[in-house]
Amino acid sequence: MLIGELAAECGVSTRSVRYYEQCGLLTSSRSSNGYRTYGPAEVETVRRIKALLNVGLPVATIALLLPCVMDASPRLDPCSDLLATLRAEVARLDSQAAEIARCRGLIAGILERST
């Protein structure tokens, strides 16, 4: 499939796909006319990249993490140095979740008092 098809399939822009390639997160083949071509594995890779970006992981961390989770049964054994980074990301996400819950409580309280 071509870059536009990959982007549409995954719900990202073609610019994002090019950026993922530039960062080393994704690779493509080239057709005889020079167009980038992608297969099912690249669709899965872009979906994983998008999911990891959506939870707030930085591209640098995703670049370290992708090789460790691209198999059917992800294992972090060869990527043990990544564990500290992932633990820090979990702590950051927990902190964000707590702040969101606190803000939600404030807003819910305002709504309760105004009805």
The domains located in the chain, with CATH, are 3-113 (1.10.1660.10)
How far is the C-alpha of 42 from the C-alpha of 37, rounded, in Å?
Answer: 9
pLDDT digits (tens, 9 = 90+) for 50-67: 999 998 889 998 998 888
Q: What is the pTM of this model?
A: 0.73
Contact status, residue 61 vs residue 89, Cβ threshold 8 Å: yes
∠ CA 31-26-1 to the nearest 5 degrees?
40
Range of weakest confidence among 16-20, 46-50, 68-72: 68-72
pLDDT higher than 90, residue 113? yes
15: tokens are 């610019």
Identity at 86, one-letter amino acid code: L
Which of 67, 94, 100, 95 shows the shortest CA–CA distance to 81?
67
- Token pair 């994002």 is at which residue? 16
- Band of the pLDDT at 3, cuts 50, 70, 90? very high
Other CB atoms within 10 Å distance of the CB of residue 73: 5
What mean pLDDT comes out for the span 72-83? 66
